[in-house]
Structures are given as C-alpha cells and as structure tokens.
C-alpha cells in the first residue's frame, strides 16, 4: 500500500490513515476500522467543523488535527471524505504533502480519478470509491476503481478499508456511474419502496408502527433469503406467487403500471446525471 508496506503484510496493517473530512461517511468508515481492530492511534481526522472532528476523536480514540496539510504529511494514506465540490481545493492544499509513497482514496461521489489526479503531483496514486449510506451500520456496498498509477496493493488497501463497513468490489472506472445509480442511489430506491408499502398498509387499516415493522422486516428477510440461497429473484418471486392468488393479483397491477420500466428509467436518469456531475 505504501513505501512502508512489506511483502505478505495484510492491507492497512500498521498504516497511518488520515481522513480529511470526518462527516457521516468518513466517520462511519473510521468507526468501522476501529471496531475491526485498527489501532485508533494510527488514524487521524480533520473537519471543517471542529465539534464534529473532536466528537469523533473523543468517541473512538483517534487523533484530531486542525490542519489538512499536517494530516496528509503524517499519513501513509489519505482518505477524502469531503463533498465533491470541496475536493479540488482540498487536494490543491495538500498537493505538496502527497508524494509517491502516499495513497489517496476518494469517497467523493462522481469525481473521476483523472480529475483527482489533476490536482496532485505526477506520482500520486489515486483510488476512487463509491460507498453508500448503509455503511453507517456495517452493511455498505462500495465500488473501487484504480487511477492511472494505482497498484494492485492500493486496490487491496481500498477494499480492506471499505470492508470494515460492509463489502467492496473492484470494478473498471467506466462502470462507476452505473454502480452509483444502483448501490449508491439504491438505498433511496429501497426507502421509496418501503415508504410506499408502509403507506399502503396504513391505508388498509394497519397502525403505522406495525406497518413499518412488517415492511422493514419483510424487506430485510427477503434480501437475506436471496443472499443465503443464491436464488434468482424471479424464481424467489415465483415461489411466493400462487396461480390466481393474492400475490398474482398485486403483481398484475404492478405490471400494468409498468413499474419495472419506471425503475429502469430512474436508474438511467441517475446514470446520466452522474456522468454530467463527473
């Protein structure tokens, strides 16, 4: 991962990590790393909001630094957790502290590795990561892509980083926009569906608290069933659908309303918007 990594050493072991921007996503990854056993003394955090930075440091025992340049100079790997619009100025700020031995991992949605590299020196090693909000509860799904000079060890390090808060897959960078629309925006699609089912249950006379419990557990259980069995979703759906039964009647309405096409259009719109932002 860095100039100090030795052959056979697991990714991130003994690495000093600087999280520049300790907001919701960066904070979730830091918490996951500490819970997974990474020495909190080897993690430092910065934030534009001192209270956020200090609260995270106090809760997890990590270092809090006020200076991005000091944090970057201290670290073996820098993790960008700021909003995309703030990333360029931050990279310009730390450019002098990021040498050939420092890995830069970006959690900034939509920003290409080329854009990130343009703000750094010619030897900068950049890995782009697209995380999602379930990372906050250790159930995230992230896509990891290498920049022009990133190594296999750099990718392994980024995967290890995100595996502390869920799962991570290595993908070619051109697939990042599609992944962002599925796993990045995907929680919003799921929450939208959950909200619709809860409202439908309330309309049928169920108390809201009970409706929410029923829907959330049903969605969770359905996902776990697919994961445990490896069954294709269409086969799992057929197992619930008796000919002429109640489920079939409901599915007929969804097909009449072209729900599948609407979902495909929503994903397509999200991909096109991600390309524009990038």
Q: Where a domain ends, among 154, 175, 196?
A: 175
Q: Where a domain ends, among 130, 145, 175?
A: 175
42: three-class secondary structure by DSSP: helix
Residues 81 and 197 in one domain: no
Residue 50 domain-assigned? yes
Residues 102 and 141 in one domain: yes
Q: Which pLDDT value is given to residue 9?
A: 53
Confidence of residue 36 (pLDDT cuts 50, 70, 90): confident
Residue 107 domain-assigned? yes
Q: Which residues contact 123 (CB under 8 A, 6 or more apart)?
A: 99, 100, 149
Residues 214 and 130 in one domain: no
Report the CATH number at residue 29.
3.40.50.720
Residues 155 and 77 in one domain: yes
Confidence of residue 102 (pLDDT cuts 50, 70, 90): confident
Residue 4 domain-assigned? no
11 pLDDT more than 90: no
Tell me what percent of the residues of the chain surpass a pLDDT of 70: 96
Residues 154 and 201 in one domain: no
DSSP states along 105-168 = EE--TT--HHHHHTTS-TT-EEEEEE--GGGGGT-EEEEEEE-TT--HHHHHHHHHHHHTTEEE
Residue 11 domain-assigned? no
When mean pLDDT is compared over 3-12, 20-29, 86-95, 98-107, the highest value belongs to 86-95
Confidence of residue 2 (pLDDT cuts 50, 70, 90): very low
Question: If we measure between CA atoms, which residue out of 136, 21, 127 comes closest to residue 83?
Answer: 21
| Tokens representing residue 161 in the block | 């980083």
E-strand stretches of the chain: 17-20, 43-46, 63-64, 77-80, 103-106, 125-130, 140-146, 166-170
Residue 5 domain-assigned? no
Residues 157 and 138 in one domain: yes
* Distance from C-alpha of 83 to C-alpha of 87, rounded to nearest angstrom: 7
Residues 91 and 216 in one domain: no
Residues 124 and 203 in one domain: no
| Domain span including residue 120 | 17-175
Residues 60 and 166 in one domain: yes
pLDDT digits over 124-178, tens only? 899 999 999 999 889 999 999 999 999 999 999 999 999 999 999 999 999 999 9
47 pLDDT more than 80: yes
Residues 89 and 190 in one domain: no
Residues 198 and 221 in one domain: yes
How many domains is the chain built from?
2
Report the CATH number at residue 214.
1.10.3730.10
| Tokens representing residue 72 in the block | 């970057």
Q: Where a domain ends, among 127, 145, 175?
A: 175
Residue 265 domain-assigned? yes
Could you tell me whether strands 140-146 and 125-130 are parallel, antiparallel, or unpaired per DSSP bridges? antiparallel
41 pLDDT more than 50: yes
Residues 171 and 194 in one domain: no
């Amino acid at each position: 991962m860095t100039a100090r990594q030795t052959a056979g050493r697991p990714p991130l072991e003994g690495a000093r990590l600087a999280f520049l921007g300790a907001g919701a996503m960066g904070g979730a990854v830091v918490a996951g790393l500490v819970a997974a056993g990474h020495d909190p003394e080897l993690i430092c955090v910065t934030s534009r909001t001192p209270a956020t930075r200090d609260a995270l440091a106090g809760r997890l025992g990590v270092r809090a630094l006020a200076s991005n340049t000091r944090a970057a100079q201290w670290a073996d790997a820098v993790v960008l957790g700021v909003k995309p619009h703030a990333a360029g100025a931050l990279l310009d700020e730390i450019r002098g502290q990021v040498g050939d031995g420092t890995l830069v991992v970006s959690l900034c949605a939509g920003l290409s590795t080329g854009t990130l590299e343009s703000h750094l020196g010619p030897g900068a090693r950049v890995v782009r990561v697209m995380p999602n909000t379930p990372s906050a509860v250790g159930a995230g799904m992230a896509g990891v892509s290498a920049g022009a000079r990133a190594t296999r060890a750099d990718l392994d390090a980024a995967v290890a980083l995100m595996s502390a808060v869920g799962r991570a897959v290595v993908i070619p960078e051109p697939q990042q926009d599609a992944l962002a629309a599925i796993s990045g925006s995907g929680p919003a699609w799921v929450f939208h569906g959950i909200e619709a089912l809860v409202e439908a249950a309330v309309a049928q006379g169920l108390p809201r608290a009970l409706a929410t419990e029923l829907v959330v557990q049903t969605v969770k259980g359905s996902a776990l069933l697919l994961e445990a069995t490896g069954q294709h979703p269409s086969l799992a759906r057929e197992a619930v659908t008796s000919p002429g039964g109640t489920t079939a009647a409901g599915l007929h309405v969804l097909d009449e309303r072209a729900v599948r096409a609407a979902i495909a259009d929503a994903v397509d719109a999200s991909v096109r918007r991600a390309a524009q932002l990038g």
